[in-house]
Amino acid sequence: MSKGRVLYIDDSEVFLERVRTALGDAGYEVVATTQTVGAARHLAGCDLVLVDYHMPGFDGASVLASLRAAVEKSEQKPSFYLYTSNKAIASDYSILGFDGALQHKGDDRALVPQVDAAMRMRKLRALSAARSAGTGGRG
């Protein structure tokens, strides 16, 4: 049984394979692509989207804007996380429009615990939203 579906967008084939392997071994279903244009076709059923910030022709914030537009009317929206080793960019994740940031890009041992935590946060947000909807926002 899968722990969740993750879409990872990066211009580096090396990082795509490393993330695919690390998360796949940890029980996640992973779709990894270098395609920034058209990546929205992979969003169906995704729980978490990881986006590299520095890519040729686009930055992560531009890619994020197009992905958010693609799921705007969708009932199930994934969480969008920046994946970077640049601490300054990571600290600006919310200004850039991301739900969070995974740091230490390239450290495969740090990746899985960070994704596990992001998935827990996603579940907690969903529970909180459901609870608020069930109580009319009074609880």
Q: Domains (ranges, CATH) in the chain?
A: 5-134 (3.40.50.2300)
Q: What percentage of residues in the chain have a pLDDT greater than 90?
A: 57
Q: Rounded distance, CA 126 to CA 122, Å?
A: 6
Place of tokens 């920034």: 36
Q: What is the DSSP secondary structure assignment for residue 137, as one 8-state letter?
A: T
pLDDT higher than 70, residue 68: yes
Task: Give CA–CA dist 8/117, Å, rounded.
Answer: 16
Average pLDDT, stretch 50-76? 83
59 strand-pairing partners: 54
Please tell me what DSSP assigns to residue 76. Answer: S
Q: Under a CB-based contact definition with an 8 Å cutoff, are residues 100 and 89 in contact?
A: no
* pLDDT tens by residue, 74-117: 778 899 999 999 999 999 999 999 999 999 999 989 999 999 99
Residue type, 74: S
Q: Determine the pLDDT at residue 8.
A: 96
| Distance from chain centroid for Cα 45 | 13
61 — pLDDT class (breaks 50, 70, 90): confident
Q: Which neighbouring-strand residues pair with 54? A: 59
